[in-house]
Structures are given as structure tokens and as C-alpha cells.
Amino acid sequence: MNAPTITNNITITQSVGQTIDLFQRDANRALAQATAPLPPGETALTNDEKWSVVWHAISIYYTLDASIALCIALFSFIVGWVIKAVVSTDSTCDDTLATIMAVLSSLILVTRFLDVCVNCSKYCCTSVMKDARMDNEALKNLVLCGSQMILSAVQVVVAVSGMSQCPIYIVTMIFAFVMILQAGEEAYIWFAVWGLRRFVQDGLQVPDWVDRFIPDCIKSYVKANPL
């Protein structure tokens, strides 16, 4: 190995070492700041209030997700009744099945609308938020998600039974599958939330340094509206 190559290797090694030292100093500084005592006048959150930050974040996200699902359900409702109108003019198709699927689309839309209203009410009505508990909210949403999955599954069965006569029923079946996947994902999340709130929260202490990363406005909100 010639001299220039050795010099280059030494330079690269020194540069890597300096970079590692810089990252280590920054990490130690950030850790020291995070674990330092809170400034005078700044109130620390209790363990339940820290968990409430998590629950509020999940609830707000779910409300937005449920609003998107409501739009899908509305489109499915419109398509269902359009297919009902088309099938009623076709003598080769069973109009009864189209009516059943249109009614199911209506029921899915109603449950989705209730889902959005229930979750929006927590943030629009102070009295509702005051009485809210995350484990009860999770069970309530599980019931709504379960009802949507059942209605959509029945819609799939009805569509499959009539697809041999009316291939257009595949459109309704696709929408029903989308609603099943949407509600199934939400049900999985709410079941996990219910389990964490019921069996984990009281025994798992959130570190105090987390307070430093929570804005004061959020702290004030969760203190007034714990979940």
C-alpha cells in the first residue's frame, strides 16, 4: 500500500470519528435537556393525562378517517340505488336482490353517519367530552365498526348470489369489500385501544421527560378533558 493511500485512509478514519463524536455530543445534550427538571411554574402531567394525549390523538385521527369512510359510504349508497334503477328495467335480473343491496347501502351510510357524529360530538359538545372515557368510547366504536362489517358482508353475499344473472352486481360487491376492509382496520385499532386503556395504562408509567415535548395548549386541554 503506497503512502497516499495510507494518508487517505487515515483522513477518512479521522472524519468518521469526528462525525461520531459530534452525534454523541448532540445526543447527550438532548438527553440532558429532556431529563432536566421542569422550569418553575410549569406543571407536569399525571400519568393518566399523558395517556390522554395519546387517546385524543387517536380519536381525532379516527374521526378524520371515519369522515373519509362516510364519503365512500355515500358514494356506495348512490351507486346502489342507481344499480337498483337500472336493474328494475332489465327483465333478466332479479329486482329483489338489487333492492336488498340498495337498502343495505342505506343502512351502512346511516351507521357511518352515526359513527362520525358520535366522534365529532366529543369535540363539539363540552358535556359529552366531560363524560367520555376511552375504554367506553372504544367499545362504542367497536359496535359501530362491527355493524358496518356485518352489513357489508351480507351485501357481498347478496351480490354473489345474483351475479350470475346480473354481472353489474360486482360493482356493489367491490364497494362492500372496501367497507369491510375499512371497518375491519378500525375495529382492530379500537380493540387494541380498549385493551391498552383497560389493562395497560394503570401499570405503565410514561416517563416525565415526555412533558417537555407536549405543547402547553395540549397540556391545558387534556387537563380539562381527560379520556
Mean pLDDT in residue range 213-219: 81
**Angstrom distance (rounded) from CA 94 to CA 80:** 14
Residue predicted with more confidence, 18 or 153 = 153
State pTM to two decimals: 0.71
* Cα(215)–Cα(218) distance, integer angstroms: 5
**Span of 24-28, 86-90, 152-156, 163-167 with lowest mean pLDDT:** 24-28
Share of the chain above pLDDT 70, in %: 77
Q: Are the beta carbons of 177 and 156 closer than 8 angstroms?
A: yes
Per-residue model confidence as pLDDT tens digits over 132-186: 577 788 888 888 889 989 999 999 998 888 888 888 888 888 989 999 998 898 8
Assign 29 a pLDDT band (cuts: 50, 70, 90).
Answer: low
The DSSP secondary-structure symbol of 214 reads S
State the Rg of the chain over Cα.
Answer: 27
Q: Which pLDDT value is given to residue 30?
A: 47
Could you read off the pLDDT of 43-85 as tens digits, one per residue? 577 888 888 888 888 888 888 888 888 999 999 899 989 988 8
pLDDT at position 41 is 47
